[in-house]
Amino acid sequence: MIGLVVSITAALWSIFYGLNMAWENEEKSMIVECDSQETVALIFNANPTFDMFELVCMIRNPVSEEWELCDLVHIASSTNIAKNALANSAISDDGGLVELSAPPSYMFPLLVADKMV
C-alpha cells in the first residue's frame, strides 16, 4: 500500500507495477495508456529535482528493456471508461495493490465500449 498520494504519484506507481507485472508474466509487447499528460511528460523528460525521480528512473528502465514493443502514450480520460469505473470501484476498498486474473464481470461492456472509442 502506498498510502494517500497525489494523482501523479499514484499514476507513476500504477505504471511501475503494471510494467513489472507484465514483464514477470512474460508479456513482450505493451502499450501503456495514461490519462495524465503531466505524468507522461515526467517519464519522458525525467528531471533529477523531481521528488519522485527515482521512481521515474525505475519506470524508464523496464521501458528500455528488451520488449518487442513498450510504449507509453497519453489518452484523454474521457476515452478510458473502463479505467475510470475500475478506479471508482476501488475507492470503497481498503487500498493496496490488487492483481486481477480476469476483469470483474461488470467491466466487460465497458471494455467493449473502450475498444470502440
Query: Looking at residue 16, what is its pLDDT?
Result: 92
- In the chain, domain spans: 1-75, 80-117
- Give the C-alpha separation, 109 to 8, whole Å: 28
Q: How far apart are alpha carbons 56 and 83 in whole angstroms? A: 22
From CA 57, how far away is CA 44, in angstroms rounded?
10
Contact 28, 68 (CB under 8 A): yes
Q: Average model confidence (pLDDT) for the chain?
A: 80
pTM for the predicted model, two decimal places: 0.73
Whether 76 and 48 have beta carbons less than 8 Å apart is answered as no
In the predicted model, is pLDDT for residue 2 greater than 50? no
CA distance 59 to 41: 13
- Banded pLDDT at 90 (limits 50, 70, 90): low
Sign for the pseudo-dihedral over CA of 53, 15, 114, 26: positive
